[in-house]
A and B are shown apart, each in its own frame.
Chain A
């Protein structure tokens, strides 16, 4: 479905890889019985979230969002998502939106809406990730996710820079996505050497160097 002026297609190869991953996840039997295994069997949403997390790391945003949308319908309608598993789902949707410049998965497609819609999606994403980060103040990845999301919102960039710089200073910035966001923030402030260093570290943290490349500036919503 086309909303706004852009449409992001889910390639057949990605759909096929999703199918393969799903089948292999179901067929693999390395895990043995343990309480976490019992919970996983009882609640299929856990497997779904783990798969969505993995797809997100592999930059397969559309399929990550698709899985979450199927198991947690209607999250976007909630101003602040509640519940541990639902918030995990909201994290995936939020990061998908952040990494697609405010895009949203709906009716089987990841689409980019109007500038206003994209800004609203990003604001929603920051709100959910902020809630998640506040729930785990000593954990690295929720803070990095929040920093990455805030870096996409012009009014939050100062906060994003502060957070990401602080994390980088103590060597706690391990997400290549957050490192790329830091590089971008540094570039904006004219710190070319700092940006280069962040991109270099980003490349060290991933096999997918495309994550670390600078994004075209016109792709962002302006609000």
Chain B
């Protein structure tokens, strides 16, 4: 197989990851950043870097998730948090549940938000979340505990986790 064929095959593989993981990843990034444009940018940059890295990445899906969250968190440190209204974020769709959730999530710190979304929305175990956010499992446990408590206060509901 020549180099061009290898590149095409790799790109198809990354596109498959994008098609399968993309929607959940983009929405996770949206929850983290509160801004659709930043979410799209972080995801596009992660996949672009993955394609450029080529065969050296053994698990493209895991790498893309970690890269996208690292890039999005870099964006958050470089620019102030988005002031976009929830209606703008969800493209004018009138959905009270989504708006309540987005407003409540803004009350969490970025790390609490990232931990909550990766664990409770994306479904990653604490060990993987710690690896993605480059911190310890115990720290993630604390962020999850506090994030859940905060969300419970904001949204109402049981706390049996």
- Are A and B part of the same complex? no
- Chain B residues near A (Cβ < 8 Å): none
